Amino acid sequence: MDATGFKRGSDLLRRHQQDEGRAGEFTLLDRTWDLLDGVFSPTYTPVTELFSTWLPYPEGGAFLEMGSGAGVTSVIAAQSGCRTVTALDISAAAVENTRRNIERHQVGDRARALHSDLFSALSPDERFDVIYWNSNFAEAPDDFVNETDLHHAFFDPRYDAHRRFAHEAPAHLTDQGRLLLGFSSIGNSALLAEICGEAGLAVDVLRTERRSPDPDTTLEFQLLELRPV
Ligand SMILES: C[S@@+](CC[C@H](N)C(=O)[O-])C[C@H]1O[C@@H](n2cnc3c(N)ncnc32)[C@H](O)[C@@H]1O
- Candidate from 66, 96, 131, 167 with most ligand 1 atoms within 8 A of CB, to mutate: 66
Task: Provide the CATH topology of domain 3-228.
Answer: Rossmann fold (3.40.50)
Kindly state the average pLDDT of the residues 96-125: 98
Given this model, what pLDDT does residue 217 score?
A: 84
pLDDT digits (tens, 9 = 90+) for 38-76: 999 999 999 999 999 999 999 999 999 999 999 999 999
Give the ligand 1 atom nearest the CA of 117.
20
Per-domain residue ranges for the chain?
3-228
Q: Is 52 in the pocket of ligand 1 (CB under 6 A)?
A: no
Q: CA-CA distance, 43 to 26, in Å (whole number)?
A: 8
Q: Is 72 in the pocket of ligand 1 (CB under 6 A)?
A: yes
| Measured CA angle at 52 (ends 107, 64), to 5 deg | 60
Rg of the chain over CA atoms, in angstroms? Answer: 16
Which residues is 32 bridged to in the sheet?
27
Kindly state the average pLDDT of the residues 132-139: 96
